Amino acid sequence: MLEIWIFRLLFLVFVGIFVAQMAARLRLIFRAKNNFSIDHPGARIARFISEVVFQSKVIAGRPVAGVAHALVFWGFVMFAGFTAAMFLRGLAGPQSALNVTGTRWFHAYSLAVVPFAIAVLAGITCLLIRRVVLRPEGLGTHVSGESVVIGFFIAALMVTFLLDFRLVDGTTAYRVNWWAHVLIILAFLVLIPDSKHLHLALSPITVFLKSPLLGTVPNLDFEKEEVGLETVKDLPGKQVLDAFTCVECGRCQDNCPAYATGKLLNPKTIILQNEDALLAGKLGAKLSEVYDRGVLWQCTTCGACENECPVGIEHLPDIIGARRGLVSNGEAAEFLGPVYNNLERRGNIWGFTYDQRQKFLGSAALETFNAARHEYLIWLGCAGAFDADFQKSLRSLFDILRAKRISFGVLEKERCNGDPAKRTGNEYLFQELARENLEELRTAGAKKILTSCPHCLKTLGHDYRAFGFEAQVVHSAVFVADLMKDIRLSPTEVVTYHDPCYLGRYAGHAEEPRDLLARFGATVRDPVRSGHNPFCCGAGGGLLFEEHEEGKRISQQRFEQLQATGAPTVVTACPFCAIMLKGAQASANATTEFVDLMTFVDGRLKSAITPDDGDGRASRDDPRTQTPGEAMRRAEGAAGAERGL
């Protein structure tokens, strides 16, 4: 009986310490602004099943370590019932009806747990070797003694569980083994809140609460005098929860283009600095002082950190929210001043006047959108309206659409969608631009919008929904891939394709551009970091305008990755990616060619026809003498012949 009371006392002490530690953290979470959301429950449940139950993201990012972690997780889930039964036995006593450890069903359950216990032993051994011996950079520069201790605790739990089958109930050896087992669990319970292993309890919650759409940053309500995140106490509930959930795995760090090119920004450090400030009670400290100096303006908002995090942490609301706080106090980065001025005065990032846009509309024979006559509205964006290089791509798109007899027009007045203002923290300017554009869009009655800019795609298709705008917004690569699904030309050249972050990662469209390239005769060699996890070009988050980039330029790093494929041509699908990568090409004096996806498709479409009959004169099939529709029909016929139709 004395043994039972000793255990009860220990149980109360250890559980009390655990509850006190958790209460301190819960108070910080619930005192923060409530920004928790459970909208789109279907998507949240699906992600929970995939990422928590099946550990898909943990495994996908690092297969070996991920499988080891998954084995430990699944083992712990199976092990929970055994642990509960052991504690019931200790609290109620061996003779109590609550003690089920002697029943047949519990014995059968225990046997079922055995393979999981062995799997946990194997998994935790691999993880300990990785942390202590291999020590990858993402885990930090020093070995965490706490993690090693907890790793050995987990291994010891499995050993004591397996020994339970070899010992006779009631013997001294059995009692010693039982005490070892429960004391390890109680010690583990006390260590959890102050360690990264708190993610065991919190990560299922953060994964479920994470926004279904990457990079969701809710609009500020100026009527409530919201100005962004200025101090630690301004961090909303989800961001506070994130701070306590971080597992310090370093996946965000490993995938951050700023960190990879020698900059101070480290997404993991930002989350851990939030945690340190919260637990230290520094609620009044400015976030710009909590974080390393200047790091907030080094983020390209590529979303790699948030997308790769296996425990549902959202970094972008932190970074953009803190930028908002700085902008509201007149502390925006110096390079953004001219950009904001151009947006306010001219409605575009370049500061060009509207007569230059009108010249392009006239030369490209573009009609003003009329819902009664046009099916699609083409959103030009700042690049489409004013960048001569990108306008070549749009002309190719127009040729393709006209050839397919798809009706389209453009807005008579179109201002920048506000993406640069939104991502750099100038929320007031973003909302001003958005309201003016929404008035034009609603007046025009546009229901289907086509754009070749992934940043416009994100802003119009996602951010504008917060204002009640529900039009269908599609990127030209996705639209044309579906439009051309019946065409397939013979492979003739090797290219590499650079995935824009806002198309491949944010919108999830990595296959359609490749499919389109393959259909039009390109063999695609992918660079490192491609598809749904591309390496950024360095233009996002307003950094297109940053001329004094610390460390190695992100665009240079990406250009070198593209060069390493050996492909002579780089295909892009974003005007800003093209600007950055061409700049890197010029700096390297490289001969690599760049071509936009629409220009590539249109060019291959027209070159499918023989341009010379052999007498030096253009043939009747020469695309230079054909209408786009004739070129399209000829290419479709050639494609049918290649398929043997």
| 504-537 pLDDT per residue, tens | 999 999 999 999 999 999 999 999 999 999 999 9
Cite the beta strand spans of 191-344 per DSSP E. Answer: none
The pLDDT confidence band at residue 169, using thresholds 50, 70 and 90, is confident
The pLDDT confidence band at residue 443, using thresholds 50, 70 and 90, is very high
Class of domain 481-642: alpha beta
- Amino acid 616: pLDDT: 40
Strands 489-497 and 408-409: unpaired
The pLDDT confidence band at residue 145, using thresholds 50, 70 and 90, is confident
Residue 469 confidence (pLDDT) above 60: yes
The pLDDT confidence band at residue 548, using thresholds 50, 70 and 90, is confident
- Amino acid 366: pLDDT: 97
- Amino acid 639: pLDDT: 45
Question: Between residues 126 and 608, which one has the greater pLDDT?
Answer: 126
The pLDDT confidence band at residue 132, using thresholds 50, 70 and 90, is confident
CA distance 194 to 15: 14
The pLDDT confidence band at residue 155, using thresholds 50, 70 and 90, is very high
Question: Between residues 108 and 632, which one has the greater pLDDT?
Answer: 108
Note the Cα 161 to chain centre separation in Å.
Answer: 40
Average pLDDT estimate for 40-49: 96
Residue 499 near residue 531 (C-beta atoms within 8 A): yes
- Amino acid 164: pLDDT: 86
CA distance 69 to 90: 30
First-to-final CA distance of the chain: 88
CA distance 441 to 465: 13
Sheet of 408-409: strands edge to edge? 408-409, 376-379, 448-451, 472-475
Residue 206 near residue 299 (C-beta atoms within 8 A): no
Mean of the per-residue pLDDT values for the chain? 91
Average pLDDT estimate for 617-641: 47
- Amino acid 634: pLDDT: 53
Q: Which residues contact 149 (CB under 8 A, 6 or more apart)?
A: 191
Domains 352-474 and 481-642 alike in fold? yes
Domain ranges of the chain: 2-209, 222-331, 352-474, 481-642
- Amino acid 271: pLDDT: 97
pTM of the model: 0.90
Question: Between residues 562 and 626, which one has the greater pLDDT?
Answer: 562
Residue 446 confidence (pLDDT) above 50: yes
| pLDDT tens readout for residues 245-261 | 999 999 999 999 999 99
Residue 617 confidence (pLDDT) above 60: no
> Tokens standing for 44?
């949240």
Average pLDDT estimate for 285-305: 95
- Amino acid 312: pLDDT: 97
Note the Cα 529 to chain centre separation in Å.
Answer: 13
Residue 395 confidence (pLDDT) above 80: yes
Q: Closest by alpha carbon to 259, among 560, 583, 535?
A: 535
Rounded to the nearest 10 degrees, the angle between the axes of helix 628-642 and helix 388-403 is 70
- Amino acid 170: pLDDT: 82
Q: Closest by alpha carbon to 608, among 519, 489, 516?
A: 489
Question: Between residues 54 and 140, which one has the greater pLDDT?
Answer: 54
Residue 610 confidence (pLDDT) above 50: no
- Amino acid 630: pLDDT: 54
Q: Closest by alpha carbon to 532, among 559, 500, 564, 490?
A: 500
Residue 621 confidence (pLDDT) above 70: no
Average pLDDT estimate for 601-616: 68
Helical (H) or strand (E) element with 604: helix 597-607
Residue 643 confidence (pLDDT) above 90: no
Least confidently predicted of 169-178, 304-313, 548-557, 560-569:
169-178
Residue 295 confidence (pLDDT) above 90: yes
Residue 535 near residue 557 (C-beta atoms within 8 A): yes
Class of domain 222-331: mainly alpha
The pLDDT confidence band at residue 1, using thresholds 50, 70 and 90, is confident
Q: Closest by alpha carbon to 218, among 431, 382, 379?
A: 431
Average pLDDT estimate for 442-464: 97
Residue 618 confidence (pLDDT) above 80: no
CA distance 219 to 422: 9
CA distance 156 to 72: 13
Q: Which residues contact 164 (CB under 8 A, 6 or more apart)?
A: 110, 174, 177, 178, 181
What kind of fold does domain 352-474 have according to CATH? Rossmann fold (3.40.50)
Where does 2-209 sit in CATH, by number?
1.20.950
- Amino acid 645: pLDDT: 38
- Amino acid 70: pLDDT: 93
Residue 214 near residue 306 (C-beta atoms within 8 A): yes
* Rounded to 5°, angle at Cα 574 from 573 and 575: 130
Give whole-number Cα distances, 455 to 28, 199, 314, 462, in Å.
35, 33, 19, 10
- Amino acid 306: pLDDT: 96
Residue 641 confidence (pLDDT) above 80: no
Residue 144 confidence (pLDDT) above 80: no
